[in-house]
Amino acid sequence: MTNSIHDMGGMHGFGPVVPETDEPVFHADWERRVYALQRAMGATGLWTIDGGRASLENLPPLAYLAASYYKRWFLGLERRVVTHGLVGKDEIAAGRALRPGIRLNRKLSLEDARTMSFAHFDRPAPGPARFKAADRVRTTNINPPTHTRLPRYARGKLGTVEAVRGCHVFPDTAAVGAGENPQWLYAVVFSGRELWGEEADPSIKVSIEAFEPYLVPA
């Protein structure tokens, strides 16, 4: 979902930021396992990173806010393995496998984990970039019921293209299984006043990484 609780930019009321001194990487052993399970299951290629994000965004708002970060990851992963037919609900309830697994095309090996290769999201361009640095653009005002990476606070706003980032997998289609549909990506910068009104601090600028379908010439 797009206009969901995860899209937090500009909201009030969450209180101060509270940094923790000498924070450990993980706060409990189960967080370690959730992190590793998430990466290992992601490596199967059964869903995209965007599909993974979408499943967290689809958590009910109260559950999203109430859960700690890794608990959200766990809830999303548990949901995903069931919806992809990897695990039965009865198995989740039983806490053990009741049937053999289905065959996977890819599985993260110990060697893969050792070498930890990085995912690439850049793709060959289907055509020339529509915009270049210094172009004035307006973001579209979209409210799709599905995943998008155009935050609410930056919709329908006038900005300037600052950099062309190359052509990348388009999250809006990748998340719903509609393909990678590569799109040009740009850094687009907005003044604080364009985003937040005349009262905003004039010394502030905010940029987003915007896919070409989010932009029209201005």
Partner 1 sequence: MPADDHTHDHGSELSEMQLRVRALETILTEKGYVDPAALDQIVEKFETKIGPHIGARIVARAWVDPDFKQRLLANASDAVNSLAGFDPVAAHLIAVENTPHTHNVVVCTLCSCYPWSVLGLPPVWYKSAPYRSRTVIDPKGVLAEFGVSLPAGTDVRIWDSTAETRLLVVPMRPAGTEGWSEEALAALVTRDSMVGTGLAKSPEAGKEEAAG
User: What is d(CA 25, CA 151) in angstroms, rounded to the nearest whole number?
Assistant: 28
Closest CA to 81 of 29, 50, 37: 37
Q: How far is the CB of 203 from partner 1 (least distance, A)?
A: 5
Widest pairwise Cα distance in the chain: 62
Q: How far is the CB of 177 from partner 1 (least distance, A)?
A: 18
Q: Which of residues 160-199 bind partner 1 (CB under 8 A)?
A: 165, 168-169, 171, 185, 187, 189, 195-196
Q: What phi and psi, each to the nearest 5 degrees, are found at residue 186? A: -135, 150
Which of 3, 27, 216, 218 binds partner 1 (CB under 8 A)? It is 27
Q: Say whether residue 12 binds partner 1 (CB under 8 A).
A: yes
Which of 60, 136, 144, 209 binds partner 1 (CB under 8 A)? It is 209
Q: Give the interface segment with partner 1, choosing from 123-131, 132-140, 207-215 (CB under 8 A).
A: 207-215
Q: How far is the CB of 193 from partner 1 (least distance, A)?
A: 12
> Residue 142 class from Cβ within 10 Å (0-12 exposed, 13-18 middle, 19+ buried)?
middle
Which of 51, 56, 175, 215 binds partner 1 (CB under 8 A)? It is 56
Give the number of C-alpha atoms closer than 13 A to the C-alpha of residue 94, restricted to the C-beta side: 9
List of E strands, 97-182: 136-139, 158-168
For residues 41 and 135, which CB has a smaller minimum distance to partner 1 in the complex? Answer: 41
Site string (75-114) toward partner 1, x via CB under 8 A: --xx--x----xx---xx--xxx-xxxx-x--xxxx-xxx
For the stretch 125-131, contacts whose Cβ atoms lie closer than 8 Å and that sit 24 or more positions apart, written own/partner, are 125/166, 125/167, 125/182, 125/184, 126/167, 126/182, 129/164, 129/167, 129/184, 129/212, 130/184, 130/212, 130/215, 130/217, 131/161, 131/164, 131/184, 131/186, 131/212, 131/215, 131/217
Which of 47, 74, 131, 184 binds partner 1 (CB under 8 A)? It is 74
Which of 41, 59, 167, 175 binds partner 1 (CB under 8 A)? It is 41
Which of 89, 105, 116, 124 binds partner 1 (CB under 8 A)? It is 116
For residues 26 and 177, which CB has a smaller minimum distance to partner 1 in the complex? Answer: 26
Q: Say whether residue 60 binds partner 1 (CB under 8 A).
A: no
For residues 135 and 169, which CB has a smaller minimum distance to partner 1 in the complex? Answer: 169
